[in-house]
Structures are given as C-alpha cells and as structure tokens.
Amino acid sequence: MTQEIALPVRIARLSELAHNMWWSWHTSSRAVFRSLSFPSWSLTGHNPARMLHEIDPERLHLAARDSAFLELYDAAIAELDRDLLGNTCWFPNRCPEHEKATIAYFSAEFALHGSLPIYAGGLGILAGDLLKEASDLGVPLVGMGLMYPQGYFQQQIDATGWQHEIYQRIDFRTAPIAPVRPAPGGGCSPLTSIPLGNRTLYLGAYLVKVGRVELYLACTDVEGNSQEDRDVTSRLYTSDPRSRIQQEIVLGIGGVRILDALGIKPSVWHGNEGHTAFMMMERIRRAVADGLTVDEAVKQVSAATVFTTHTPVPAGHDVFPFELMNEHLSGFWRMPGVDQNALLALGRQDDARRFNMTAFALRTSEWRNGVSELHGNVTRKMWHGLWPNVPEGQVPITHVTNGVHVPTWLAAELADLYDKYLGSDWMSRHDEVAMWQGISEIPDEELWQVRRKLKQRLITAMTLRAQDCWASGRCSAQQALAMGALFEPDALTIGFVRRFAEYKRPTLLFHDIERLKTIVKDRWRPVQIVFSGKSHPADDASKRLLQEAYQTSLNHDFFGRIAFVEDYDMHMSRLLTRGVDVWLNTPRRPREASGTSGMKASLNGGLHLSVPDGWWPEGYNGSNGWVVSDESLSASSAEEDARDAAAVYALLEQEILPLFFDRDRNGIPHKWMGWVKEAMKSITPRFSSRRMVKDYAENAYLPALEQKRVH
C-alpha cells in the first residue's frame, strides 16, 4: 500500500519507482535501490516498497546529495518515462487504430515478484509474464485477479520430511500495491457488490502497477461484509468446493463489475483457465438484460472473448454440482437478463447435473487455445464432445505455446555477454530467431565462467538457507546438510524443481536406487541433484512423494549430493533455473500442458532433460537437450516408470556425463558449451513471452477488435 513517504524533493519520484512493478525487470531501477542501502535491499527480500517504509530518513537525505546515487536515480527515472510514456512500442505501431482499445485479462493468480506472494505456481508465473510483456509491447491490457491477504503458504519441512503450511498475512503497508478506494484506518472501501447466495457481498479492489499495465485485485475484506465473507478471498486455491466457487464468482462476476465501477470498458476479454468462466456469464446476463436473446447474447460475448485452457486431464477442471451452483447463484438467478436453465446448459458437459467451468468458457468464447502444440491436440480430443458433428482435427481450438519473460528470468551476467556479442539492442529484438546465431561468437571460456558463477551463486544461497535454518534451532545439523550444505560447484547439478504432484513423478530417479548411487558417487564424474517444490495442502499423496525425496537427501550413502530446498518461491526459482546444469522433467504423458521452467533454464544455459511432453516436442532439435524415451505410451504406469527411469540413467551414463566432463587442459568443456549455445539460441526467441503475446495479439486480440469495429 502506498505510504506518505517523506522523500527529499530531489529524489521525490523514488516512491513512484518503488510502487510500479516495472522495477522488477529493469536493472537500472534495481541498481537504485541496491545503491540506496544494500543491506536493506537484501533483508527486505528485494522489496523497494518495504525498503522505503523501513529506511532511516537520514539515509534518504544523504542519497539526495550523493552524486553517484543521483546518476543512477536519474537514469532509472529517464528509462521509466521512456517506457511508460513513449509511443515506440510494437502494438501502437502495429495497429494505431486500436491504441485506445482495452483488453481485459482475467486470471486467478498473478506472479510478479516475491514481494507480492499471491501465486501458487506455473499458471500465476505465466499470467505475470504476460502482463510484463504486454507492458513492454504496449498492448493495452488491464489485469483482473483476486487479492489473497494470506497469499499462498510458506513451506516448512520437518525432520521426517513432512510438509507443513504456514500462512502469514501480507503487510499491505510494505507491499507494492494500493487500495483503489482507501478505507479510513487502512485497507480498501467497497467499489461494488455482487449477490452471493441470498446475501450481498461487497467488493473492494487493490491496484498493482505493472509498467504500463494496471492489475486490479478484487478483495472481500471490506466494510459491510461479515467475517465469514471477509475471508472468502483470504487464501489461494482452497480445496473446499464451496470456497472455490465463491472465489470464482468474485473473480468472474465481481471482476466485471469492478471494471465497470472504474469506468473501464474492455473491447476484448481474455479468460486464463476455467476459473474465469463466470466473467462470460455476467456479460451474457447484461446483454440479455439489454434486450438480446440468449443465443444473440452468447454470440455477442463470444465474439469478444479469448479463452486459454491449461489442463490436459478431465479431473483437473472445476466442476460444480447444480445444487452448489444454485445455492451460491440464487441471488444472481433473480437478476434481470438471467435465463438460469440456458446458462446451466452452457456449462453441462454430459447428462449429469454438473456445471463444468471449462465447458462453459469454451462455449462462450470464439478464440480458444491450449498452451502448446501437443496440448492443442490433447484439448481438441478432450473437448470433441462439445462439437460432435466435426472431425476431431477440426474442433475449433488452436494453440499458443507458452513463453517466458526474458528480462525477468535471464541472469544479468548473460545479459552483459549479449550486450557485448549480440549488440546493445538485442533485448528489443529478442524474439528474432536469426539474431541469436550470434551466440556462436561468444568464447566458450567466457560463457563457461558465467555458468560457473551462476552455479556458485545457487550453491551459496542454498548454504545460507541451511545455515539460517540450523541457527534458528528449527533444523538439526543433518537437516541442514539435506538442504544442500555439501554441494560443490564442480559436480554436474541436476534440478527437479516444480510443484510436487503424482503425475510429475518427482521420485522417478529413485526407481533403481543402487544404480542412482553409483551415478551420484562417481569419484571422477560426480553428480548432485536438487529438489524443490510445494505440494498442495490437501494432497497427501504428493506430500508423501516429497517426503521420500527429502528422506533420500538424508541418506549418507549419497555423500550429501541430494538436497531438498524448502519454500520454493520466485527468488529461488531464478537461482535454480540459472544455476543448474540439467533441468529434469518427467511427467506422465500427456499430462504436462506446456511447462515453462525448462524454458527458463534453457535461456540461461541449462540443458533440458525431459519426456516428450508439453512444449519440449516443439523445442527439442537433437543438440539442445535430451528426450527421455520416445513418444509412445506404455501399457501401464509401472511399465512407463521402469522404461523412463532406465532411459534417464542411460542418458546420464552414456551421453550427459561424458559430455559434461570432457575438458581441455584449462578445464573448459567445449562440446558441452556447444550444446549450451544451441539451447540458448534455439529456445530463447521461440519460447519467449514476446513471441507468445504477439501470437495472442495477431491471432486473437486484433481479429476480435477488427470484428467489433466492422460491426
């Protein structure tokens, strides 16, 4: 929440810089806050809003008279103004006639930075990267999500390896957010209301500035609501279906009304996953209330709606019994423009009395996509029943493969190398495939030294976390060792880092434990493996897998070369994707819709070792990583596990380790560096969020805007 900070006039815009998430992906702004107070920068978790809240005022006055600091400050402010006020962005130049349009992007979670922990995993990372890239490209986007005062949980692992969830309320005073309508004494006042069951639920909103983009987060913790209703949006992704449907009503119906209350009139609406489907329902209701028939309203809403689905298995989609729908929408059903039976029918997937959020969204959007080429195929097959009269290959669902925001995820040391060898304008051209051929000109020695530095930074961070845990008295010495305190920079480092879930098979490497020990303990070619990730609080099966990984890290037979890093977050994600040598991905096929962590590792020079699922069939070219087994499916899960584990072991023994440890007299692995360069130049431009957002704009947003303009 923006505070009245007494800043010296000379550096009065420091608060503006701290309260726009633009700083999180621009080195010039981060340099300002590091220079202001490096200890505070570190202790606050790189949160400039908190820094300004806690800093000694005298330090600010000294900075205002420090010529070196003022040079950094002026450069950052000038860059901020160029980015936010300039008119040289891609979208306004591509289609100046649509510069004043507004595209609303709805998502249940957004991951922008660790200072705003309202995300759980990949869906939020994707949404956050999309907002940042929309700002960079000048796409006129406005985000709509939910404010979770307790965010997602912090993870603590006990001595047995069992995960415990710790919830801490976000301190709004030190977060880079502001209430749209402040309440006396703090918090936000109501902007609008929605019917929830037979009662009225009041909604406020917080604003997060993301460069040019504004992100609004609906909040139920406002005056006029009961304590129970204030808690509706308190935590992210509860397992209780009643809480889940309430949150999704707030996001969809409430989100539309919040934008309306703010005078924002989107021309195009984009729903990110089925959680957002009530956004289409509210717009259909409004169109019918304005005089259209239900069919006409659906057609009108669909023509302005883009929908992205991320889930390749039926069980992963939100489905609510009609009874639960009627309980929570009873007040909504009585509103003008509602045809209850027609709306329920649009969400019906089969003969059961159940409302499928994804089915409803697919039926009420004209532009529909999966998030990789393979996922597009899987999605067309899964939802063929909605279009039974067309061949499966012609089901009107396409794909836009996910990408990652390069300025957020690329290590600064690599960016410096690119400035030197690709030209100072490489960042503005980073989706151009041809430009990346210049990677070949980087000397192996220089790139190898950067890669070693990034690995050492990861190991240092792991060691510091282990030390902090031990010093706090929460961890034994053995637990500290299990957190990576014995890791070494010369070993091949493999990362299995992602949300822990059964289908991701986090313990596949343990299928033949004796063979794994032989690989890891090789004196001349040592291997170390780092695990990190969270299990859903209600998923005991995946918690047991996490526990198995953790307990394996305690096994003395592995020489301390297996580690589990607890409380995986965006900061640790950056360290891990930059520091590991090999990024391991072993989901059951075809359960991975896309995945983006491997893209982040590849653009930083890590090599992807993955089953042929998600984005990897599009990215793999034979010399930029490895494929585990082939694309055929096994008869049983046990057979699949045995085959894929054996394939991983064989690749490590026969290809990966020989390549990594083949060094010249100066210790440089030239052949390995050839693969690293190939990964960087083949994956970075094609799997960037710049390419992704341009795909959405060219193939969905602009056609929808043109269609609206014609009519």
**Number of residues that this document lists for the chain:** 711
Average pLDDT over residues 309-338: 94
Residue 514, CA atoms < 13 Å, CB-side half-sphere = 0
Start-end of H helices in 383-434: 406-409, 412-421
State residue 267 phi and psi, 5-degree precision. Answer: -90, -30
Long-range CB pairs of 214-217 (<8 Å, 24+ gap) are 214/142, 214/143, 215/110, 215/112, 215/131, 215/142, 215/143, 215/144, 215/145, 216/142, 216/143, 216/144, 216/145, 216/180, 216/255, 216/258, 216/259, 216/262, 217/118, 217/145, 217/146, 217/147, 217/177
- Compute the Cα dihedral for 519, 522, 524, 526 and give only its sign: positive
Q: Cα–Cα distance between 503 and 542 in angstroms, integer?
A: 9
User: pLDDT tens-digit profile of 64-91?
Assistant: 999 999 999 999 999 999 999 877 899 9
> What 3-state class would DSSP assign to 19?
coil
Q: What is the DSSP string of 452-480?
A: HHHHHHHHHHHHHHHHHHHHTTSS-HHHH
**Long-range contact list for 622-628, CB < 8 A, 24+ apart?**
623/674, 623/675, 623/678, 624/675, 624/678, 624/679, 624/682, 624/683, 625/675, 625/679, 626/651, 626/655, 626/656, 628/586
Residue 48 pLDDT > 90, yes or no?
A: yes
Instruction: Please report the pLDDT score of residue 710 as a whole number.
Output: 61
Instruction: For residue 633, name the pLDDT band (cuts at 50, 70, 90).
Output: confident
CA 333, 336, 341, 343 torsion-angle sign: negative
For residues 281 and 115, the answer to whether their CB atoms sit within 8 Å is no
Cα–Cα distance between 243 and 235 in angstroms, integer? 10
pLDDT the model gives residue 709: 67
271 DSSP β-pair partners: 106, 307
What's residue 631's pLDDT?
76
Tens of pLDDT along 570-605? Answer: 999 999 999 999 999 999 999 999 999 999 999 999
Instruction: Give the residues across from 493 on adjacent strands.
Output: 528
Residue 234: HSE in the Cβ half-sphere, 13 Å Cα cutoff = 11
Q: What is the mean pLDDT of residues 287-294?
A: 97
**What's phi and psi for 257, nearest 5 deg?**
-70, -35
* Cβ(372)–Cβ(618) below 8 Å: yes
Contact 216, 249 (CB under 8 A): no
- DSSP strand E in 470-623: where? 492-497, 527-532, 562-565, 582-585, 607-610
What local confidence, expressed as pLDDT, does residue 1 receive? 42
> Each residue of 369-418: pLDDT tens digit?
999 999 999 999 999 999 999 999 999 999 999 999 999 999 999 999 99
Give the model confidence (pLDDT) of 518-553 as tens digits: 999 999 999 999 999 999 999 999 999 999 999 999
Q: Is 141 helix (H, G, I), strand (E, B) or coil?
A: strand
Query: Tokens representing 465?
Result: 């976390």
pLDDT at 598: 96
Measure the CA–CA gap between 300 and 337, rounded to whole angstroms.
14
List the one residue out of 92, 76, 1 whose CA is nearest residue 31: 76
pLDDT at 708: 76
For strands 199-210 and 213-219, give the pairing: antiparallel
444-471 helix and 412-421 helix, angle to the nearest 10 degrees:
170
Confidence of residue 2 (pLDDT cuts 50, 70, 90): very low
**Which domains are present in the chain?**
9-85 (no CATH), 98-402+694-710 (3.40.50.2000), 409-455+491-687 (3.40.50.2000)
Tokens of 648: 């991983």
pTM for this model (two decimals):
0.96
CA-nearest of 157, 159, 13 to 79 is 13
| Contacts of range 356-359, beta carbons closer than 8 Å, 24 or more positions apart | 356/274, 356/317, 356/318, 356/319, 357/248, 357/274, 357/275, 357/277, 357/278, 357/317, 357/318, 357/319, 357/320, 358/273, 358/274, 358/277, 358/309, 358/311, 358/317, 358/318, 358/383, 359/383, 359/386
Burial of 632 (0-12, 13-18, 19+ CB in 10 A): exposed
| Distance spanning both ends of the chain, measured CA to CA | 42
Instruction: Supply the pLDDT for residue 185.
Output: 84
CA–CA distance from 451 to each of 121, 447, 577, 690 (Å)? Answer: 26, 6, 11, 25
Lowest mean per-residue pLDDT among 341-345, 470-474, 641-645: 470-474
CA dist., res. 407 & res. 398, Å (int): 28
pLDDT at residue 4 tops 60: no
Would you state the pLDDT for residue 172?
87
Residue 271 φ then ψ, to 5°: -100, 125
Q: Can you tell me the mean pLDDT for 470-498?
A: 93
Q: Examine the pLDDT at 3 and tell me if it is beyond 50.
A: no
**Rounded Cα distance, 300 and 284, in Å:** 8
Task: Give every CB contact of residue 255 below 8 A, 6+ residues apart in sequence.
Answer: 104, 106, 144, 145, 216, 218, 276, 279
pLDDT tier at 186 (50, 70, 90 boundaries)?
confident
Radius of gyration of the chain (CA): 25
Mean of all residue pLDDT scores within the chain: 95
CB atoms within 10 A of CB 627: 18
Helix axes 689-696, 122-137, angle to 10 degrees: 80
